[in-house]
Structure 1
């Protein structure tokens, strides 16, 4: 057991943690989801309710586990306390992979959202991939300046990314108030279970990240008080925004417009003017950039916690004077770079789709483990049961190929864990630096 990070290295307060949760959740998915959900109509509304309910149940589970296990630095450590170090490593390793994969996905999404403004980015794969790599490393360099800088940027980008959401909310209220909009009728045959299931699966990617405050526990001041509040507030607020905005666009726009490449822009054009709609691409890119910043913070914190717990080689856990996990951040971005280059021939859309599916499936193992840990400790039992059922259902819904791949990637980490434990058992404790400067 190691001592917590020094006070100077714990700069994240309640506002920054809420921004981290909401900023990581509001990212690449929301600006395209209305187009994907439009064919499902009211079934998509039911899908949103199921997904938000599952996310809130799991968020409550993580919040209560944070209070029950105050010494655990993040969800993988909670799982380790419940089921042993091998289980904790398996979930932590898979979650680290999901974060790296998410960052590739988000960097690609930033570039994809800029293609209406800079067409060359989408016309030449090499240019688009190069731009994604430049964005990925720019955000990494910013995070190397410390969690306080990253947290400040997260607050700013959250405010900016909420601008188009607020605009759409105002337009929906105005259109319904003056009678200029007609809501799509509820289907006479009622809701269809397959359509509800399909739409719920689509919404899952947009809600990943509610565990972000807990995953950055070592950078949070007073974590047992702040993390539960930030987790619940951030998840509930994001879910409410998504439900109202995405459902409103899908139900108030004609099907052809709702299924356009930019449904937010189509909605603003119809109910306001084309000029403001042209700015949607810029705000979508800012939204993705904010999400990338938050996930980059976590891509350093997760391996840092694992290294301090003796699950990864100790050199990964070395930090600078600000408590920044420099080596973990750089190593994660190197892996992300290799992953992006390996998929560079597929094009932006294909890369985004493949990486988003893998990241979603890999993250589900974390949610499954947290629900099981809560049941083990008899914490928030009703929510844990709901969360467990939801995680199993969505893991199955992700498909055997994707979920199977995430399981294979989990198993691939075990030799490294075995080697690390064998090596550390032969070394004196003094050889494992905790906050040494680099």
Structure 2
């Protein structure tokens, strides 16, 4: 596997980038979000999701300004580096790394759970490891191949979600959806408010990682024109799918049976069509495409973040080597996979209290995402002040209101998550401390790193 320092290939179109933006996230419609029902109930979680959707819509409209002004594989790392210097770049880059490295093992475990429905004898964890091997290889094969595959599986995943809604619609009952809908109670109470805040990580899971499309900006043919269209179409697609999936799943029977499991959609469909229906088998098989789309896309995302951090001297230089034939960062792809596979088996060494392994991994990923969102919005405000002449092909609408809403809701989400997930936040801080020690000790790598004009620092 030969390596070089050649650049990434510019071969992605607008439909490719839309497919990446939606595909990165769409597994969030298939699993993970239903853990929020256990905390908030269906109605409480609906409130949580409305709050989080407002954060993401305002965030994406604001984030797109940064992506088009600074089209860079590092995404948020590059924006914060340019706004706040190397330390700001480290904070945002390491947060993004945690988000994108911890999301895939949660998705891989869900892939294992879905296949386990069809083949109970198979170990879900071994299926998860197999998924890593297959899709790391596909990402190494080439970005055009990977992005085309991503687009195809994303379209199939969207189709399957629409089929799910259509099949369960005849059995939908609003009374089922609202029964005990406020954290298990029939009416809103103070405890309901606590549940609404506790469920924030799982509402974020509906939209987590859409910003990862920014990391493909260096590989887009015309990022200044294509990125805004792809992002805006992507977030609108995801909002419709998120609310549709959640509401239809919650109204088919006892929603409590769907909380704290990795395969809520097949189990919801069972309540309507039974255990042996062809519709159910189709959902399991085609539904895998939703998980695969996000799993595959986030591998692409974490590899570009590792690549960019390495190229700028924040990680060992070998991780920015690009395969000479395929023009893909193969060592970055493999490094993230090793960490992800270790996370899959981490419950053999670490206990998570009442939190499931998947729930713990999701929460850790969300901590990284929220810190990155806050840093990105802070960077937008900072760059508006320090670089008013920066070419901004797309400007955040309703500035400064939209980025201020995104920043404020992000801070609220972070505070709530720390309060309800203190132990996992401590683990998050430990990871950050380890990263900072490495950052502080390796200034020589940054001094000798390749000049990166897009960061505006050299």
The answer to whether the 8 A contact 1:374-1:381 is kept is no
The answer to whether the 8 A contact 1:299-1:329 is kept is yes
1:131, distance to aligned residue in structure 2 (A): 2.7
Normalising by structure 2, report the TM-score: 0.81
Aligned residue in 2 for 1:76: 77
The answer to whether the 8 A contact 2:72-2:215 is kept is no
Q: Does 1:311 align with 2:307?
A: no
1:175, distance to aligned residue in structure 2 (A): 6.0
3-state SS, counterpart of residue 311 of structure 1: coil
1:22-37 maps to which residues of 2 (within 5 A)? 22-28=22-28, 30-31=30-31, 33-34=33-34, 36-37=36-37
Aligned residue in 2 for 1:204: 204
Change (3 A) 1:213 1:245: same
Aligned residue in 2 for 1:102: 103
Work out which of the residue numbers 375, 382, 396 in structure 1 matches 2:415. Answer: 396
Deviates further, 289-298 or 314-323: 314-323
Aligned residue in 1 for 2:154: 158
Per-residue CA deviation, residues 6-29 of structure 1 (Å, 9 max, x unaligned), is 5x7022211111111111111155
1:396-435 maps to which residues of 2 (within 5 A)? 396-398=415-417, 399-425=421-447, 427=448
Change (3 A) 1:46 1:5: farther
3-state SS, counterpart of residue 26 of structure 1: helix
The answer to whether the 8 A contact 1:316-1:327 is kept is yes
1:184, distance to aligned residue in structure 2 (A): 4.7
Change (3 A) 1:304 1:184: closer
Per-residue CA deviation, residues 37-83 of structure 1 (Å, 9 max, x unaligned), is 38723332222211111111111121011234356841110011111
1:377, distance to aligned residue in structure 2 (A): 2.5
Change (3 A) 1:257 1:405: closer
Counterpart Cα distance in 1 of 2:260 and 2:68:
45
Counterpart Cα distance in 1 of 2:196 and 2:177:
17
- How many residues are treated as equivalent by the alignment? 418
Normalising by structure 1, report the TM-score: 0.85
Aligned residue in 1 for 2:46: 45
3-state SS, counterpart of residue 323 of structure 2: coil
Per-residue CA deviation, residues 336-359 of structure 1 (Å, 9 max, x unaligned), is 233334444679994322211111
Change (3 A) 1:145 1:412: same
Change (3 A) 1:305 1:189: same
Aligned residue in 2 for 1:328: 332
Counterpart Cα distance in 2 of 1:80 and 1:300:
19
Aligned residue in 2 for 1:141: 137
Aligned residue in 2 for 1:285: 288
Aligned residue in 2 for 1:228: 228
The answer to whether the 8 A contact 1:204-1:360 is kept is yes
Change (3 A) 1:346 1:129: farther
3-state SS, counterpart of residue 12 of structure 1: coil
Counterpart Cα distance in 1 of 2:148 and 2:29:
23
1:154, distance to aligned residue in structure 2 (A): 0.7
The answer to whether the 8 A contact 1:182-1:252 is kept is no
Q: CA RMSD in A?
A: 3.1
1:404, distance to aligned residue in structure 2 (A): 3.0
Counterpart Cα distance in 2 of 1:413 and 1:258:
37
Counterpart Cα distance in 1 of 2:225 and 2:117:
44
Change (3 A) 1:34 1:306: closer
Counterpart Cα distance in 2 of 1:35 and 1:408:
25
1:285, distance to aligned residue in structure 2 (A): 2.7
Change (3 A) 1:171 1:423: closer
The answer to whether the 8 A contact 1:12-1:151 is kept is yes
Counterpart Cα distance in 1 of 2:348 and 2:145:
31
Counterpart Cα distance in 1 of 2:321 and 2:254:
55
1:166, distance to aligned residue in structure 2 (A): 0.7
Q: Does 1:356 align with 2:352?
A: no
Aligned residue in 2 for 1:85: 86
Counterpart Cα distance in 2 of 1:376 and 1:72:
21
The answer to whether the 8 A contact 1:73-1:218 is kept is no
1:244, distance to aligned residue in structure 2 (A): 1.8
Per-residue CA deviation, residues 311-353 of structure 1 (Å, 9 max, x unaligned), is 2233221112332111211222223233334444679994322
Counterpart Cα distance in 2 of 1:220 and 1:206:
25
Which residues of structure 2 form unaligned runs of 5+? 385-395, 453-458
Per-residue CA deviation, residues 67-124 of structure 1 (Å, 9 max, x unaligned), is 3435684111001111111110222123213222212222122112211111123xxx
Q: Does 1:337 align with 2:341?
A: yes
